[in-house]
Structure formats: structure tokens, C-alpha cells
Amino acid sequence: MATSNSRTLARLMLFPSVVLLLAWMLVPLCMTLYFSFLDYNLLTPGNNAFIGFLNYEFFLTDPAFFASFFNTILLVGGVLLITLGGGIGLAILLDQAIWGRNYVRIMVLAPFFVMPTVSALVWKNMLMNPVNGLFAHFATWLGMSPIDFFAQIPLLSIIIIVSWQWLPFAALILLTSIQSLDREQLDAADLDGAGPFSKFYYIVLPHLSRAITAVILIETIFLLSIFAEILVTTSGGPGYESTNITYLIYTQSLLQFDVGGGSAGGIVAVIIANIVAIFLMRLIGKNLED
């Protein structure tokens, strides 16, 4: 459809969104870029000298950067792996004929609605606390010594918490997708003598690929900037063991007031995110838009 009239109108109506997003993206980004070349510390005002790439040099050679870079990858990858694997399993299970499926659905979905600060606090104090936590009680009852989650396995603990938050999302999207699978395909496969595994591999999995793509895309967007869970539980520690890039930059700029260093970090984070974004966009470009 479309006449030149409606095309003009369309441009007009797109304008606010595009301009706002462009401003939201470009203005702060340019400022960040500018700050990243300055010796700019909020504690020592007035001395904002241009120092070239020094901030980047400091940031990129800081061992904390490598630690947090790998932590970010582990965090995103780990959560994706758990939620996708668990999600597919749950989706297949919930797709079976069971009693009370609606209640099961409601229970499974619930963690998605819990705000990150709450779920972090609940897990940290009531479940994972090495003295009073439920897991500790349970371990003691079994005669084992309780694990001090945030001291011994801080990153894994955070991965577990975040996976708990995102598993419902993955499971429900995959379940919806499985339910749209044409049952006749499975019947045909039955007639062709396919076992449950080949049915899953050749029919269910390919059918799920669009949904899996969507899950990867959306989760990655949110997981790259995990913040509250770390702030509330470990504050990035011990050392840098559970610091991701988001949290590292936060500590640099807002806790140490090093605007220049934090900005350099921010730009690095943007570049990393862009690489991921390009990769992801390719993926959805292929998979989502037919």
C-alpha cells in the first residue's frame, strides 16, 4: 500500500521515536567518549586535562578488566546455557498431558516477575546464607558442612540466582512454541518409526529454533548489564571474582569518582556490546524475519 501522502505521514510519526532514541544514544555516548580522554575526577575538580588514551591504557591493562570481561562472558553464557537447557526440558514436560497445568504454569512463571533486588536478597539471606540459610540448614541436616556460596563460588552463585529469574521466561516461550508444533508431523514421524530422540532432534528442535533465537536475543540484552544482583549479593567480590564489566565501571566511576576512567570503561563496554549486537542481529535477521 501507501501513497506519498501516507509515506510523509509515516515519516512524521516515526520522527519522535527515532529522534529520542538517537538523542538517548548519541548525546551521552559522545559525552562519554569525550570524558574518556580527560583526567576527570569528581574528587579533584577543575583539573580536567586532556590525557589521550591514558584512561584506556589503565582500564585495559587493569587485571580487573580481564577478570570482569571473562566473568561477563561466563555469566551470560552460563545463564543462557542453564535457561535454554532447563527451558527446553520444562517446555517438553509441561507440554505433556498433566493435571493442573495452569497452576504449574503460574508457579513456573512467578520468578520472572520478582524484581532483581528482591530475588538477590532472598537468595543471599534466606537460602544461601552459610549460617542461617536454608541450604546451610539442609547441609547440616545431611551431616555435611555448609557451603559459603558467596565466598567460595561467588560467580556461580550469581549465575544460579539469575538463571532462576530467567528460566521461566525461556520455558514459557519455548512451551508456547512447542504447542504450536503441528501434531501431524509427530504422527508422521511415529509412522516412519522415529524414536523419541530422533523426533526431538529432527522435528521439535528445528521447530523451536525461532523461539530459541528470541530467547537468546532478549536474555542477552538483559544479561549483559546485570547489576543489581551483584550489588546486593557480593559487591563484585571477593576480589574481582564476581565483578562483571557493568559493575566494574560502576565502582570506578561512582564509587571512586574517576569519571575519565569510568568513561573509558564505558566505551569499551559499548564496543563489546556492539560486537555482540552485530552477531545477534545477524542471528535474528536470519531467524526472526523469515
Using DSSP, state whether 66 is helix, strand or coil: helix
Task: List C-alpha distances in Å: 8 to 13, 22, 94, 166, 234.
Answer: 9, 20, 48, 41, 53
Residue 144 touching other proteins (CB under 8 A)? no
Residue 17 touching other proteins (CB under 8 A)? yes
Residue 105 touching other proteins (CB under 8 A)? yes
Stretch that binds other proteins, among 43-51, 74-82, 194-202, 227-235 (CB under 8 A): 227-235
- Considering only residues 60, 114, 156, 189, which one is a binding residue for other proteins as defined by CB under 8 A? 114
Q: Residues in the chain, how many?
A: 290
Instruction: Return d(Cα 98, Cα 89) in angstroms, integer.
Output: 15
Residue 81 touching other proteins (CB under 8 A)? no
Instruction: Return d(Cα 258, Cα 189) in angstroms, integer.
Output: 62
Residue 267 touching other proteins (CB under 8 A)? yes
Kindly state the number of chain residues that form the binding site for other proteins, as judged by CB under 8 A: 115
Between 120 and 155, CB nearer to other proteins: 120
Residue 149 touching other proteins (CB under 8 A)? no
Residue 185 touching other proteins (CB under 8 A)? no
Instruction: Return d(Cα 137, Cα 145) in angstroms, integer.
Output: 10
Q: DSSP readout, 167-180? A: HHHHHHHHHHHHHT
- Considering only residues 45, 47, 63, 96, which one is a binding residue for other proteins as defined by CB under 8 A? 96
Residue 237 touching other proteins (CB under 8 A)? no
